[in-house]
Structures are given as C-alpha cells and as structure tokens.
Structure 1
Amino acid sequence: MTQAPTPTADTVRRLVLSLLPNGGAAGAGPHVRPVGEGGEHSSWWVGARHVLRLAPDRDASARLRRELRLRDLVRPHIGVAVPVSVAHGEWTSGLGYTLDTRLPGTTGEQQGVSAIGENDLAALLTGLREVPVRQAEALGVPRATPRSLEALRSAAASAAQRLAAADEFDPARLAQLKASAAVQLAAQPGVAVLVHHDLRGEHLMVSADGRVRGVLDWTGAVLGDPAEDIAGLAVAVGAPAAVRAATLAGYGARPCLRGLWLSRCDTVTRLAEHLRDGETGPVPLLRIQLRRAWEAILLERVTELPGDD
C-alpha cells in the first residue's frame, strides 16, 4: 500500500494553484485551511467556494473515483444537491484527489432541519430507492449484507450496563426491544436499494430556514438495507424527524422501526466503547446522537408486529 505523505498547507496551495491559477491575489492562490470535521479523506477548504479532498491510500482513492461517477448517477433522482467536481486526478503517486464545489448552508450538526426540510429528506430517501441497482453495481458500488438486529441488541445490552455504571444511560430503555421483535424486524430478503450509508449530520447541508440543500461524501455508498439510512437520519436529525421522512418516502412500519432500533443499538454501543477506551474528543457528540436516536416516536407506541409480546 502506498504510504501517503502528510499533506501540508503548502502542498495543498501548490496543487490548488495548478488547478485554479486565477484563484488568488498576486498569484498567492486562495486561502486554504483544514476541514475540522475529519473523515477518511484529508479535506481542505479552498477559499469560499471549493473543498479539496485528498485520498490517504489506494482503497480510498478507488472509492473517491467511484464517488465521482456515483454522484452523476444519483443527481437526477434525489431532489437535493450533491457536490460537483471541478478537477480531479492524483495529488501524489497513486493517490487521488477531487476539488469540489462547496454546497451552500451549514452542516446538520449546526443547523436543525425544519418540517419542510423533512420533505427534502423524504425526497432523498425516495430518490435513493429509484436509482437503478444495476447501474450502481456497474459503477462498482458493493452489496452489503443486512446486519443482524438481534446481534446488535445483544451487544447494546452489554454496552448499556457499562453506561449505567457510568450514570450515562438507563438499560431498562433497551428492554423495549424484545428478542421476538428483533427477529420480526429482520431485513426483508431481496430488498436492496442504493444506501448512502453515512447520513451523519456533518454530511447534510442545511440552510438557515431548515431546508436540506445537499448531501456530502458518497464514498461509503452500498447496495443494501434502506433501514441503514433511516438509522443514519435518526442519529443526525432525531428519531421523529427521520421516521416522518421515511414514512413520507413510502416506507412502512417495519423498515422505520428497524432503522430506529439500528440507530439506538449503535449509539449505545459507540458511546460505551469510547468511554471504555478513555476517548474524550467525540463523547459530547456521541451523547447528543444517543439522545436524538432515543427520542420517542408515536409509531413504536402503536405498532404491533406479528409475534410481538
């Protein structure tokens, strides 16, 4: 595997000057600064209009190149903007980059989604379901096996006990998901759609009026379980908004509840793992995400699946 050099501001500035020679005053080029939210790519703001993403290894380079083609495929379907690449290539031997347009708005971690914004999320979920699976597969988008909700429930139960000891979570809340319900909420066979698979708040661009204006970072997209994106939205914007959007997109109770419990098991487990490992950086965000995923929704109170207690 290629060992990527650590990109510096000078590295980025030289590359940007070769791509945007008229982008700065007196040949200095536009101002560049790292994107603080991280991710698997080394990302830099370039002036006020662009973002540069540098793949750190060959696998990430392949995903980045695939993303360029995938964005063109999804753009007509999803009803919200995706970035446009104004230049792409290799920033060092074997490692790719893309210089993208910067979408307007701020991230979903900084700006809440309004009721109209939920309609935008519904259009996103609807459009992802309409993307032709064969075309996405031809681009190299991999298939992903649906996760076992029962296995996630078991892992979350152990994590919940650790959180209880730290006074972070009441494990009795997880008892709402009985073993029989986890079985009933298994993914339905033969149902595979294009899944963004990383609908975190930082990947949703939201305007000041709460409209969802764009979706970033399609490198993790798969063909698989649509409940994964419902789960992502529950963590990003809260369970009620996620389920309302999914319902507007035509999803029934089963995938909505499956997505809800995927998000709840995930957030309990992730917070417990970070506290166990002594990590402090992401813990405040993980607490917020857990709270969002565990917001009560009407659907779980009134829906009874066959075989439930």
Structure 2
Amino acid sequence: MTQAPTPTADTVRRLARTLLKDGAGDGGAASAAGPGVRPVTEGPAPAAWWVGTRHVLRLAPDREVSARRRREPRLRDLVRPYVPVALPAGVAQAEWAPGLLCTLDTRLPGGTAEEHTVSAVGETDLAGLLTGLREVPARQAETLGVPRVSPRSLESLRRAAAEAAERLAAADEFDPVRLKQLTPPAAVQLAAQPGTAVLVHHALTGGHLVVGADGRVRGVLGWDAAVVGDPAEDIAGLALAVGAPAAVRAATLAGYGARPCLRGLWLARCDTLTHLAEALTGGTTAPPLLRTRLRRAWEPIMLERVTDLRAADETP
C-alpha cells in the first residue's frame, strides 16, 4: 500500500497553481507565489484545502479513495438533474503522490450543518435530495463503478450496541435502558425490504451538507462514498447530521413510510453507541462530535410512539 506523504501548504500551493494553470480563475487570491491556500479543518495532515475563494483541493490518502474519487465527477453529473441542491463541479484531477489522486472542485457557498441549523424549509430541501436519489437510475450508477452493497443486519447492530451501552453506562455516558426500546423482534421487523435498493449518498454528515445562514440546504458534498443499497442509511446519516425529528420529517416528505424511517433511526442510534464506546476505549477523550451525534440520534420522535411495527407502512 502506498504510504501517503504529509501534505504541506507549499505542496498544496504548487498543486493548485498547476491545476489552475498558474492561478487563473482562483477568485483573485493568487500571487506570484501561487493561490492562497489554507486547510479546511485543523489537523496534523489535512486532506482538504481551500484554494483562493472559489475552489477546494482534496488529497486522497490511499488508492481506494483515489479510485472512488476518479468516478465522483461522473456520478455527480448523473445525480445533478435529479436533486434540488447544488453539487460541486470538478475542475481538474492529478496525482499528488504516486498512485494518489488530488481533485480540484468548485467551492459551494455557505456553511455546514454543524455551523447552521437546518430550517423547516431546509428540511424540504433534504426531502428533495432523498426523492432525487431514489429516482437516479441505479443501473447507470453501477456502470460508473458505484458498488451495490447489502443492507446491514439491525439485529447484529443491536447486539453490538447493547454491549457498547453497558460500557458507556460504566463511564456515566448513557443509560442502557433506552436501548431496550429496540427489542429483537422489532429489529427483525425493521429489516430492509427486498427490492428497495436505491442510490445512497452514504455519507450525509453535517460537514457534507452546505447550509446557508437562512437554514436552507444549498448543496451536498462527499459523493465518493456513494453506493447502491439501503435508503435507510441516508435517513440514518441525516439523523446524525440534523437530528432524528428533522431526518424523519424529511424522509416522510420524500415519501418514505414508517418502516424505513424507523430503520434509519435505529441504525443511527446503534452506530452512535458503538462509535462513542470505541472512542472511549483505553480512557481516551472522545471527540465532542460523537456526543453531539449521539444526542441528535436519540432525540425522541412522535413516529416511534404511535407506530405499530406489525402494521407499519412499507412504502420503500
């Protein structure tokens, strides 16, 4: 496996200058030394950098991510006509290290769902996104190399989450009684239904939702993780990004029934428990975002109070 070197501002600046053809079109931030660059997030080896005011440069850390990002521009072109939100446009691609891809994309204006609260109107934007993904021809996505993946077993996730909940209880992080709402029979009833696979973004994190100050969802990033599979995974992602009630309202507006909504909710809840427990292993300090996601996913929703799973709407 290729070991990715540590990127530096000089490395990124040289790459950006080449990809922008000596700084042309960089939004006025170029100088004789090249366009202005800065990491999107802080860290020892940032993988995404702002380039001027109009572009973002992403550095793939390995060959697997490189392969996904090579197909990403074509997938975005396939998806774009079906969704009501903006998607980045690809500007250029190149290798930044042997076998490792870097991609220069247009920057979408706005903040993230971690910075701005999604409004009620923004929830309709998310509903339009889920509706559009369901309408994208799955076979066309697969011809681009998007993999088809099987639905996860909610019962397996429930068992792992139950163990994680006990560890979190010992650390005074979670009351495991709350997980008892998801009984083994309920987990079986919430299994993914046959014939419901659609194009799934599969990474609808708060950082991938571009949100305006008015709460509207203006764009969606991070399409390299897309798969053809269980639509409840995107409902789960939204529960972590914007909270369970907003995620379920958006999914309901998109035409999803009680079963996929509740399945997505419990996928998210089980994931938050296992991820937080893993992060706390060995007495390490968990990132605050993991606790935020747990809080969001476990927000109560009216649907779980009124739905009899045996008679749940099975609208895919």
Residue 238 of structure 1 corresponds to which residue in structure 2? 243
Residue 156 of structure 2 corresponds to which residue in structure 1? 151
2:291 to 284, 287, 291: 287
TM-score by length of 2: 0.93
Distance 1:69 1:278, change over 3 A: farther
Deviations 1:261-305 (A, max 9, x none): 0001111111111112433252x1111110100011010000001
Deviations 1:155-212 (A, max 9, x none): 1111111111111111111011111110000000121100011111011010000000
1:299 to 297, 303, 306: 303
Residue 215 of structure 1 corresponds to which residue in structure 2? 220
1:206 to 207, 211, 215: 211
Q: 1:152·1:265 contact (CA, 8 Å) conserved in 2?
A: yes
1:107-118 maps to which residues of 2 (within 5 A)? 107-118=112-123
Distance 1:279 1:307, change over 3 A: farther
* Residue type of the alignment partner of 2:82: H
How many residue pairs are counted as aligned between the two chains?
A: 306
Deviation at 1:37, TM superposition (A): 6.5
Q: 1:113·1:211 contact (CA, 8 Å) conserved in 2?
A: yes
Residue 265 of structure 2 corresponds to which residue in structure 1? 260
TM-score by length of 1: 0.95
Distance 1:87 1:192, change over 3 A: same
Residue 109 of structure 2 corresponds to which residue in structure 1? 104
2:193 & 2:91 partners in 1: Cα distance?
40
Distance 1:25 1:291, change over 3 A: closer
Gaps of 5+ in 1: none
Deviations 1:88-131 (A, max 9, x none): 12223322111111111111111110000000000000000000
Deviation at 1:307, TM superposition (A): 8.5
Q: 2:39·2:46 contact (CA, 8 Å) conserved in 1?
A: no
* Residue type of the alignment partner of 2:237: G
1:88-167 maps to which residues of 2 (within 5 A)? 88-167=93-172
1:241 & 1:105 partners in 2: Cα distance?
20
Residue 201 of structure 2 corresponds to which residue in structure 1? 196
* Residue type of the alignment partner of 2:306: V
Aligned to 2:103, the other structure's residue is in SS state: strand
Residue 6 of structure 1 corresponds to which residue in structure 2? 6
Aligned-residue sequence identity (percent) comes to 74
Aligned to 2:185, the other structure's residue is in SS state: helix
Deviation at 1:25, TM superposition (A): 4.7
Residue 15 of structure 1 corresponds to which residue in structure 2? 15
1:232 & 1:16 partners in 2: Cα distance?
32
Aligned to 1:129, the other structure's residue is in SS state: helix
1:134 & 1:230 partners in 2: Cα distance?
22
Distance 1:279 1:216, change over 3 A: farther
Q: 1:41·1:56 contact (CA, 8 Å) conserved in 2?
A: no
Deviates more, 1:124-133 or 1:83-92: 83-92
Gaps of 5+ in 2: none
Deviation at 1:61, TM superposition (A): 0.9
1:281 & 1:150 partners in 2: Cα distance?
26
Distance 1:279 1:131, change over 3 A: farther
Aligned to 2:35, the other structure's residue is in SS state: coil
Aligned to 1:208, the other structure's residue is in SS state: coil
* Residue type of the alignment partner of 1:256: C
Q: 2:113·2:210 contact (CA, 8 Å) conserved in 1?
A: yes
Aligned to 1:306, the other structure's residue is in SS state: helix
1:34 to 31, 39, 63: 39
